[in-house]
């Protein structure tokens, strides 16, 4: 039976997706490298262009918007030049900034990538990873609750980069709110809060995050080992769908939402890989949209797998192109 991706992609336009997590600016310095510095054995990059892009959870919001849905982004940024620049970039993309809270106690995260001769040479990070204060946590929770109570939210994405916006309290209280309002929840986790995400509908670690989060190790990346890890995660954290991204090996999903658990394992889509930055953001975005429409696990895994592969063809963090993804999926059918 063929999946009607045309109809599915049209339905994405009706969805409101709440994205909660760490936002950042992805800054790019583009230039040419023609010599080695006389001061140290390092290349000299002559910068010809600078660009700021939305990154982290804001890149997930961009992907949601690129797929035709309405992103509602909730985060805390510094009350600094970079924080206001991030809001300006959001407005430039016609995104509402109502969910953004300014803090005078923490800087806005900026990741600057120096790209010489079309290859990334260096990344410079400006950030703090300490948890937000109790006062900020209270304000942030009130903001999240207000959005959930006043908008029709079809899914909630926790986009965690371990920068301190997502605390254990915010995670558990937001999941409770989602359950109360029958809103599906999805997670792109990192190490610090890995075990805090309990009772979520879809949990998407990569292989490294899975091993670190569960404190397990295995050399063979095969169905048997992945099933064992997914079962452990399901029993520990009561997760309905364990969705593991395996880089060049593709994706694995184990769906516990039905009486009988179902396993889907798909190979990676063969691509000319230019840059894997932001691929995880794209995967969680497409998976969350599919989950919001209550699609089956194979459809979720298929669409997300193709989307993740497509964005790896571009240099830098870029959102998915909806029409290109649709054409790829229709060609596959």
**Which of 236, 279, 286 lies closest to 256 in space, CA to CA?**
236
> Torsions phi, psi of 11, nearest 5?
-70, -25
Catalytic machinery residues: 281
Please check whether residue 284 is in contact with residue 56, taking contact to mean a CB–CB distance below 8 angstroms.
no
CA–CA separation, 137 and 144 (whole Å): 10
Classified as helix, coil or strand, 162 is: coil
Longest dimension (CA), the chain: 67
Whole-structure pTM over 0.85, yes or no?
yes
> Torsions phi, psi of 131, nearest 5?
-65, 150
Please check whether residue 52 is in contact with residue 27, taking contact to mean a CB–CB distance below 8 angstroms.
yes
Domains and CATH numbers, the chain: 5-24+55-105+128-332 (3.40.1190.20)
Q: What is the chain's pLDDT, residue by residue, as a tens digit (333 residues)?
A: 457 999 999 999 999 999 999 999 999 999 999 999 999 999 999 999 999 999 999 999 999 999 999 999 999 999 999 999 999 999 999 999 999 999 999 999 999 999 999 889 999 999 999 999 999 999 999 999 999 999 999 999 999 999 999 999 999 999 999 999 999 999 999 999 999 999 999 999 999 999 999 999 998 899 999 999 999 999 999 999 999 999 888 899 999 998 899 999 998 875 554 444 557 888 999 999 999 999 999 999 999 998 988 865 655 556 778 888 888 888 876
Buried b (16+ CB within 10 A) or exposed e, 86-116: bbebbeeeebeeebbbbbeebbbbbbbbbbb
> Torsions phi, psi of 103, nearest 5?
-125, 135
Buried b (16+ CB within 10 A) or exposed e, 298-318: ebbbbbbbbbbbbbbeebbbb
CA–CA separation, 46 and 62 (whole Å): 30
């Amino acid at each position: 039976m063929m999946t009607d991706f045309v109809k599915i992609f049209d339905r994405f336009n009706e969805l409101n997706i709440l994205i909660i997590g760490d936002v950042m600016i992805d800054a790019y310095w583009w230039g040419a490298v023609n010599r080695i510095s006389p001061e140290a054995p390092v290349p000299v990059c002559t910068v010809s262009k600078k660009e700021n892009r939305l990154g982290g959870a804001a890149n997930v919001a961009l992907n949601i918007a690129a797929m035709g849905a309405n992103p509602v982004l909730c985060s805390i940024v510094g009350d600094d030049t970079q924080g206001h620049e991030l809001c300006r970039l959001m407005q430039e993309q016609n995104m509402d900034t109502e969910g953004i809270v300014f803090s005078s106690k923490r800087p806005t995260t900026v990741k600057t990538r120096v790209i010489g001769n079309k290859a990334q040479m260096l990344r410079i990070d400006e950030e703090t990873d300490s948890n937000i204060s109790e006062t900020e946590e209270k304000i942030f929770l009130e903001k999240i609750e207000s959005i959930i109570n006043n908008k029709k939210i079809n899914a909630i994405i926790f986009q965690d980069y371990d920068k301190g916006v997502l605390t254990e309290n915010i995670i558990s209280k937001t999941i409770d709110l989602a359950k109360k309002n029958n809103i599906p929840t999805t997670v792109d986790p990192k190490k610090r809060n890995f075990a805090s995400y309990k009772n979520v509908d879809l949990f998407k670690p990569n292989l490294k995050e899975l091993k670190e989060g569960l404190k397990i190790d295995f050399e063979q990346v095969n169905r048997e080992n992945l099933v064992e890890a997914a079962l452990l995660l399901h029993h520990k954290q009561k997760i309905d769908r364990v969705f593991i991204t395996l880089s060049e090996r593709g994706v694995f999903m184990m769906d516990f939402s039905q009486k009988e658990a179902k396993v889907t394992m798909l190979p990676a889509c063969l691509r000319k890989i230019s840059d894997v930055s932001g691929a995880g953001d794209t995967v969680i975005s497409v998976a969350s949209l599919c989950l919001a429409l209550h699609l089956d696990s194979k459809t979720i895994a298929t669409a997300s797998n193709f989307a993740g592969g497509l964005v790896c063809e571009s240099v830098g963090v870029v959102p998915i192109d909806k029409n290109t993804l649709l054409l790829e999926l229709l060609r596959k059918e």
